[in-house]
Amino acid sequence: MKRHHIAALLMLQSFGAGAFAQSSVTIYGSVDNGISYISNVGGHSAFKMQDGINKSNALGFTGSEDLGGGWRSIFKLENGFSLNTGAMGQGLIFGKQAYVGLGKSDIGDVYLGRQYDYTLQLERYMVPYLNCGIMLFENADLDRTAGERLNNAVQFNSASFGGLTFGAMYSFGQNAGTSSTNVGRAYSGNVQYSYGPFSAALVLTDINQAPVYAGLTGAPALLGQRLAPSTVQLVDNQRIFGAAGMYTFGNWRASVVYTNTKLKLNGESATDQVIHLGGDYRPMPDVDLSAKVSYDKLEDSHWYSLNLAADYLLSKRTDVYIELAGQKAGGATGTVASIATMGPSSTDKQFVSRVGLRHYF
């Protein structure tokens, strides 16, 4: 009888070991901090200690379980935070991402929860100059390429079919709350293709009742309303179309990204168009040099921007960097420079320099 009990225990242990081997959980994240100099913000120059500028700080948990037959379950919980104050990012415990999903290797994955819409996919084509940090994005991120989330979202991402992938998502507007970038319904989709050193993408996102940080654009007025730096508009509709392409040749990479954003509010409409052109060069495996130029036109206002960066890898996970950003505004009277997240200048010019340290884990 005792021998039977021992055999049963060994059997259970083998089952448990097998189940454990088929599932995994990973803890990951990134921390970024540095010192920035801003030539003009609100009429004054400033030195600031800023974190999450080159790469947003994150602490995340992701996992999957092999269910057999090519099926798997997936989850991700990701928190944003301030390294300098310890405050939670987005005001939520898992404000960056929080979803659970189910997938099949030859079909694709379905996710349910708080997720990025597909305009974030355009960031993949900004990789050659992402070391320029968040300052490379459109002034107020009207085109959402810096990464914005949708609550109550269902998303499908296909498997790769000969280099072609596609995805679609829908976000329900119920109980969206102040933490959401969609008070009403939203949908988003993308198509991407990769072949050898070339890749390209098309994306579309449409949101009803979307809050936009209009005051950070640097424009004097938008949708019939005069703007102050703190102005946030809850627009009736925000529609974004984006296209991008990237090519790699040896130690060089180059990419172009175009976005067209249309905003509607109380019968008024406005269109913002942005084009980025840039690339990077690796003279040595541990050195990356990046450059990007962009043109942004919002109704009668426009902005020219130049971003430069030099990144040195101390290891596979730790690097130090220098970022430079300059912007010149023009067009409508009262238009000022307003480099992303820095705050509007009091003139048509703004310059930012930054030295920072970044670590992945």
Place of tokens 């290797």: 105
3-state secondary structure of 13: helix
Cβ atoms within 10 A of the Cβ of 14, count?
A: 10
Per-residue pLDDT tens digits of the chain, which is 361 residues long: 444 443 444 343 444 444 444 789 999 999 999 999 999 999 999 999 999 999 999 999 999 999 999 999 999 999 999 999 999 988 889 999 999 999 999 999 999 999 999 999 999 999 999 999 999 999 999 999 999 999 999 999 999 999 999 999 999 987 656 667 888 999 999 999 999 999 999 999 999 999 999 999 999 999 999 999 999 999 999 999 999 999 999 999 999 999 999 999 999 999 999 999 999 999 999 999 999 999 999 999 999 999 999 999 999 999 999 999 999 999 999 999 999 999 999 999 999 999 999 999 9
Q: Which amino acid is at 41?
A: V
Q: With DSSP H G I counted as helix, E B as strand and the rest as coil, what are the percentages for the chain, rounded to 5?
A: 10, 60, 30
- The span from the CA of 267 to the CA of 88, in Å, is 37
- The span from the CA of 104 to the CA of 111, in Å, is 12
Domains of the chain, start order: 23-360 (2.40.160.10)
| pLDDT confidence of residue 226 | 97
| pLDDT confidence of residue 23 | 85
| pLDDT confidence of residue 176 | 59
- The span from the CA of 216 to the CA of 337, in Å, is 9
User: Residue 274: enclosing H or E segment and its boundaries?
Assistant: strand 268-284
Contact at 8 Å (CB) between 81 and 74? Answer: no
Cβ atoms within 10 A of the Cβ of 97, count?
A: 20
